[in-house]
Amino acid sequence: MTIPFSQISDDLAKQAIELPSWAFGNSGTRFKVFGTPGTPRTIEEKIADAATVHRHTGLAPTVALHIPWDKVDDYAALRDYAGEQGVSLGTVNSNTFQDDIYKFGSLTHSDPAVRQKAIDHHFACIDVMDQTGSRDLKIWLADGTNYPGQDDIRSRQDRLHESLQKIYDRLGDDQRMVLEYKFFEPAFYHTDVPDWGTSYAQVSALGDKALTCLDTGHHAPGTNIEFIVAQLLRLGKLGSFDFNSRFYADDDLIVGAADPFQLFRILVEVVRGGGYANPDVAFMLDQCHNVEDKIPGQIRSVLNVQEMTARALMLDREALNAAQAEHDVLGANGILMDAFYTDVRPALAEWRESRGLPADPMAAYAASGYQQKIAEERIGGTQSGWGA
């Protein structure tokens, strides 16, 4: 038993998923970065590709920037260019993990001069946001240590707080900071923001404009991520998602590819907690496409999120509440599984057509000739920052 698709179709139309600019660049592992024909050479070409995903799906109206990977002289002009392509610029991601000076930390570094350099970088990101009209500054730190005793983990938390406070104080009234956590890598013994609890403690000490970013790939295997979603929504501190999927570590694979059931369970808690179609909770992808074409990779990704969102919206919550109240263990589980096992693809195809979108965005993209066109036109496509 589920809610009929017809009853959720208006809600589905509210979905918006932000694409990462870096998903369109060549990417790989420390072993090899494979080139893909048609890879963008500039941020403008990345935005054009992101707009292509949006045209085919109606799901991806914004593009996230990573600074300095997407550094340009004129961000207002970039905003205008994005607008001409039919998308807007979204979250600005800071980057304090690729300069030699940050070898032993950035916002947590023991040397005040290094900390100030990292803080200044975030100030520069806020300047970018002022020009692009972006709301969110996303902070992910590679800070951590590799050996027990290498540094005082407690002082690093204190320094992190001081640094974040300075950045927070620079935010405009309509701007926010989201602090992303990750349990390991590149540091292996300890990471300064390893888990949702640390992110929550740090952002709570700052104020209402600081929230947590949950990257689905940043948890130990077996972690109940939907529980964290429920808890952060309950606390009013879930600011954004970085969606992707993982088999082993921070794999950055297509969201919903490794474990569609986990994505469904996460979206059930998002809907339950009021996080769906809620502007306070940003849905973003954080993925890299190592061996597959990037644009269809992104199309597949947003469709996976849409499919699991449809299933989550179709969950018969009233029936579930009743079964839970009766302690009907298997009945309650059955109601949840009914929603998960519902194949929404035919209904979604019709729904898209009724809104002037291609019934099958993957097939429509393949038939559009765009991939062949960019493969011919773009010689010497660049790597995403990760491969660099």
CB of 217 to Mn ion, least distance (A): 5
CB of 326 to ligand PSV, least distance (A): 42
Residue type, 112: P
CB of 181 to ligand PSV, least distance (A): 10
- The residues, ordered by sequence, that sit 6+ positions from 249 with a Cβ below 8 Å of its Cβ are 185, 217
The 19-20 sheet, strands edge to edge: 19-20, 62-66, 88-93, 136-139, 176-180, 210-215, 238-243, 282-285
CA dihedral 66, 71, 72, 77 (to 10 degrees): 20
- Residues from 266 through 325 that contact ligand PSV (CB under 6 A): 286
Residue ranges that bind Mn ion, judged by CB under 5 A: 215, 242, 250, 286
**By CB under 6 A, residue 70 contacts ligand PSV:** no
Q: Output the CA angle 213-217-221, nearest 5 degrees.
A: 125
CB of 218 to Mn ion, least distance (A): 6
Q: Which residue has the tokens 């960019």?
A: 374
**By CB under 6 A, residue 241 contacts ligand PSV:** no
**By CB under 6 A, residue 192 contacts ligand PSV:** no
Evaluate whether 218 touches 252 at the Cβ level (below 8 Å): no
**By CB under 6 A, residue 386 contacts ligand PSV:** yes
**By CB under 6 A, residue 182 contacts ligand PSV:** yes
Binding residue (CB under 6 A) for ligand PSV from 44, 127, 250, 328? 250
Q: Which is nearer to ligand PSV, 143 or 215 (CB)?
A: 215
CA dihedral 61, 64, 69, 75 (to 10 degrees): 70
Q: Which is nearer to ligand PSV, 98 or 321 (CB)?
A: 98
Binding residue (CB under 6 A) for ligand PSV from 180, 192, 226, 269? 180
Q: Which is nearer to ligand PSV, 56 or 122 (CB)?
A: 122
CB of 165 to ligand PSV, least distance (A): 21
CB of 228 to ligand PSV, least distance (A): 16
Q: Which is nearer to ligand PSV, 46 or 55 (CB)?
A: 46
Q: Which is nearer to ligand PSV, 127 or 250 (CB)?
A: 250
Give the Cα separation of 70 and 93 in Å (integer): 10
Residue 93: which of ligand PSV, Mn ion, none does it interact with, CB under 5 to 8 A by kind? ligand PSV
Q: Which is nearer to Mn ion, 249 or 363 (CB)?
A: 249
Q: Which is nearer to ligand PSV, 60 or 285 (CB)?
A: 285
**By CB under 6 A, residue 5 contacts ligand PSV:** no
CA atoms within 13 A on the CB side of 83: 8
Residue 192: which of Mn ion, ligand PSV, none does it interact with, CB under 5 to 8 A by kind? none
CB of 165 to Mn ion, least distance (A): 23
Report residue 243 as tokens: 């969606």
Task: Report the b/e string of 100-137 with b at 16+ CB within 10 A.
Answer: eebeebbbbbeeeebbebbbebbeebbebbeebebbbb
**By CB under 6 A, residue 93 contacts ligand PSV:** yes
Q: Closest residue (Cβ) to ligand PSV?
A: 140
**By CB under 6 A, residue 196 contacts ligand PSV:** no
Query: Which residues of this chain interact with ligand PSV, rule CB under 6 A?
Result: 22, 93, 140, 180, 182, 215, 242, 250, 286, 386
